[in-house]
Chain A
Amino acid sequence: MTGDSKEKQNAEQVEKTRQPILKTLRVENLNDLVRKGLDLGYRVFAPVKDDRLVTFEQISSPEEAFLDGITSRTSPKSVLFPRTERIFSYKIRKDEIVVEDNADISQPTMIFGCRPCDAASFPIMDRLFQWDYQDRFWIERRKGMVIIAVSCLDCDDACFCTSVGLAPDSTEGSDILLTLVSRDQYLAEVMTEKGEDFAEKTGLFDEAGADLDKETATKAVREKLGKKFDLDKIKPWLDENYEHEFWAEVTRMCIGCGICTYVCPTCHCFDLVDEAHYDGGAKIKNWDACQFAAFTVHASGHNPRPDQISRHRQRIMHKYKYYPDNLGAVLCTGCGRCVRHCPMEVNLIRILKGISDMEKAGVGEE
């Protein structure tokens, strides 16, 4: 564990912070932006609506993108971390095995129209995939990726980005962040060299005047979001209270369906399986979740996390204690998907608020 500080340094290096360059984009040019991306050879992923379901899909024309709504059902993490992907394949011959390192990794990719909370998930997960061993599947895809996010002008009761240190117009993780500042104009904050390079190639951006400010545009949604819990109170409580009756009380209704982890932009646990025929096969990486009973079960049958209460605690502990301990960031962007889509309304906000209230009360007593 001596490498801790070095690892943190590494992680920080990934997020090259620089002064944003302010530009503008006319609303009528938004579709052209996507078209330019396609023309430049990017695989473009955007929210796509099918009935009530909004997911991130590869699109071939700007009209397919759906930018309304709060958040998409599933997060754009699937672009870098597909729910199922081959990581190599092999042929089984009579006296020989031929391993082929043939995973389909690198194409320039553009994520268009994600929310700032989703964009923020990428630098958080960079830390893990660059931690110690370098995961090329994540890192190489990430290098070839441009993220164009759009600020939120609305939110719902499940959103809590402001409570985890982000904002509806946070530039974290975006290469270019678009904020609708007037009826016909986006303010474009170009955050990275990648973004600048892309903006230049499209030729669609104009210099921004000094009068534009996104604060006014996002003021209403900021106020609506408010603060739902005190983040600073969470970790100190978690540090002390691995055992606490609170856990059972707030998670007993959890049925272990794992939807929270599957829709989460920062949950990244996976499984490695072989799928094969007599003459060959592949190693496949699939999403997996700490909420599943089989996740931790030993070969002997012993399960270190034998009930749903301990499995749910693990999810919260991992996001709000272990990840900050190891990698210096909360593994959560407040997108609210887990709250929104939990069939039993376990409600992470409620749990975190419960913790932060308890901690407050505790401090008061002292």
Chain B
Amino acid sequence: MTEEHAAAVQPTVAHSGGNGLENIYLPQLMVIQEITQETPDVKSMKLVFKDEEMQKNFSFRTGQFGEFTVFGVGESTFNICSSQTWKDHIECCFRKVGRVTSALWEMNEGEIIGFRGPYGNWYPVEKMEGQNILFIAGGIALPPVRCMIWHALDMRDKFKDITILYGARTVADLVFKRELEEWQKRDDVTIVTTVDPGGETPDWKGKIGFVPTVLKEVSPSSDNTIALVCGPPIMIKFTLPVLLEQGFAREDILTSLENRMKCGLGKCGRCNVGKVYICKDGPIFTAAAVALLPEEY
């Protein structure tokens, strides 16, 4: 080792403190434990930390996200779509669209990826306790809601009525089908699934129609109810007015913004919208907070 190299890796004397700040960009290694193909282009993965100690000590809050690295390819932001009540693993769910997700798509069980996190805020569970919850999700946006659904189901007695409205373009595009069936069977959850007109199959038993239209039909009560809405911008745009019509206050409607992110730490500037950094101050906002933001999401 040359002297220069030594200087490069060790703090020199003149360097005061050497208090060893952590490298906040450094990922932890996680092993892909299980892969489920949800739709033709969506997969979900169960992940565990390679380091058992790490797995034991890891905690996060429902609704937070992480930065997932495919080594040699890049890093991508996904919501942790499992509940904080699950201790032995975390889950993520992604659609194959870009460079990183395409590489992740090709990976097998047992392979290693990197994880940084958890980052961002979480669902205001304390506020939601003792209330009815209405979950509304469209397409690939079920995962960020799904973590809260499981959270609520795992602590079922803390919440009142749970209603789930989930829609996708076609039957094939519905993610977490097994779980949809499982929820269907439970008597403590009301679940409505729908597909866009033309997206149904002969044996489709759910509804046919766009999410906002079906929401009108379902017409859930807004009394003591908190609504969680996640979906493509267009769906949110048309769903909000329906909710407001039903008497929901903007403060009681929660949504998750999905701006492009890189660092996840409020530094790189990419997800800056108004004075807010989505990664740091979000991703979960009330409709009231979103209304204050410039429309850059």
Contacts and interface: CB of A to CB of B under 8 A. Distances in A.
How many B residues touch the partner, as a band? 35 or more
Contact of A298 (B22, B29, B258, B273): B258
A99 B269 contact: no
Contacts of B73: 274, 276
A10 interface: no
Nearest to B24: A133
Nearest to B101: A299
Interface residues of A, number: 64
Given A269-B270, A271-B268, A1 B281 contact: yes
Contacts of B12: 41, 106-108, 144
A304 B14 contact: no
B23 A101 contact: yes
B291 interface: no
A232 interface: no
B74 A274 contact: yes
Contacts of B274: 322
Interface in A81-103: 87-88, 90, 92, 96-97, 99, 101-103
Contacts of B25: 87-88, 272, 283, 285
Contacts, number: 153
B9 A102 contact: yes
Interface stretch (B83-91, B244-252, B259-267): B259-267
Contact of A269 (B7, B269, B296): B269
Given A143-B17, A276-B71, A136 B273 contact: no
Given A106-B11, A133-B266, A140-B15, A297 B260 contact: yes
B72 A276 contact: yes
A325 B272 CA distance: 13
Interface stretch (A124-132, A337-345, A355-363): A124-132
A26 interface: no
A52 interface: no
Interface in B253-297: 258-260, 262-263, 265-270, 272-275, 280-281, 294-297
Contacts of B112: 96-97
A220 to B, nearest CB: 38
A302 B15 contact: no
Nearest to A267: B269
13 contacts: A96-B112, A99-B114, A132-B266, A134-B22, A136-B24, A272-B25, A273-B74, A274-B69, A276-B72, A283-B25, A288-B262, A290-B272, A298-B258
Interface of A: 1, 40-42, 87-88, 90, 92, 96-97, 99, 101-108, 128-129, 131-136, 139-140, 143-144, 242, 268-274, 276-278, 280-281, 283, 285, 288, 290, 295-300, 302, 304-305, 310, 314, 318, 321-322, 325-326
